[in-house]
A and B are shown apart, each in its own frame.
Chain A
């Protein structure tokens, strides 16, 4: 069962059987181009799910080396990978190519910043946040809003996490939600407060689901709320976030590029 682009669709039959997606949705995924920034707890899971789902091109960006304390939650890595001595984005790329050799996985060993963001996010339809700091997220937000690229914000620590799709000039952007001054303050990360494995996996699964809806043009099914979970306290909340008309990034004074 080949489609007209030469992809083997039989890999995706169970997904195609889901009527909301179907063969037309699958073809859109196969034509999709996404960038995942960060291959830690969030990025590993979203990359894994979206490679299996058949997103045709996935660019992974990270500059870190694998450490043993990554292994309890970063599901693309194994103990034997610790000996390889190569950046973890390259290990993740190898794994994803084994998982789905029919798609293109491109690795960039880099730390995204305001100097290289245009290049690193170029020619992609969607960006998924797997970073671990707010400063980088503001860089992604500004570039994505400027170029009209949807991106999916996600963050987690301890037993809590949240995600929110950001559709430029339709939903609130990161700067509508958080003051840019916050980027320079201290915050909770896995290093400061710990993290339990199911949390990034759940948040990344929600990010991947939102990505699939956006890439298949099923915006009618996309939840625009911020979704918050605390898996220890068994809490699941939807928080409506409204655009800020005075936002310095997506407000009326800042038209698209």
Chain B
């Protein structure tokens, strides 16, 4: 199934080589969780501070559904 993925800031480097678009579609297996998705993309857990599914904070064990929009931000804290 396809989901929409947006990786922000430093996380953009975990997108497939050559793909630098702010948004891209990715195929995942039914039953894939956020934890599985981060592993598939080789994103270390500590690099994903904000994870939203369709605008709501996601839990690591939350399963994805067809068409979900996932946004992931790194831990930005400076001011």
| Residue ranges of A at the interface with B (Cβ–Cβ < 8 Å) | 38, 40-43, 129-134, 137, 154-158, 160-162, 176-179, 182, 185-191, 193, 195, 200, 228, 230, 233, 235, 237, 239-242, 244
Contact = CB atoms under 8 A, between A and B. Distances in A.
Contact of A160 (B49, B55, B76): B76
Interface in B24-79: 46, 49-50, 52, 54-57, 71, 73-79
Contacts of A42: 79
Contacts of A158: 9-10
Nearest to B23: A237
A133 B50 contact: no
B78 A189 contact: yes
A233 B9 CA distance: 9
Given A185-B46, A187-B49, A230-B9, A157 B57 contact: no
A41 B55 contact: no
A179 B52 CA distance: 11
Contact of A195 (B46, B55, B57, B78): B78
B56 A162 contact: no
A240 B55 contact: yes
A64 to B, nearest CB: 11
Contacts of A193: 10, 78
A157 B50 contact: no
A163 to B, nearest CB: 11
Interface of B: 6, 8-10, 12, 20, 22, 46, 49-50, 52, 54-57, 71, 73-79
Given A177-B50, A185-B46, A228-B8, A161 B55 contact: no
Nearest to B54: A242
Nearest to B8: A228
B20 to A, nearest CB: 8
A158 B12 CA distance: 14
Chain A interface SS verdict (over half):
mixed
A63 B71 CA distance: 35
A134 B55 contact: no
A189 B77 CA distance: 6
Contact of B57 (A155, A162, A176, A228): A176
A176 B52 CA distance: 10
Contacts of A130: 79
A131 B76 CA distance: 12
Contacts of B50: 177-178
A241 B52 CA distance: 8
B76 A244 contact: no
Contacts of B75: 134, 182, 185-188
Contacts of A43: 79
Given A160-B9, A228-B8, A155 B22 contact: no
A157 B55 contact: no
Given A178-B57, A230-B9, A41 B49 contact: no
A145 to B, nearest CB: 16
A179 B20 CA distance: 28
* Residue in B10, B56, B76 whose Cβ sees the most chain A Cβ within 10 Å: B76
Contact of A155 (B55, B56, B76): B76
A160 B79 contact: no
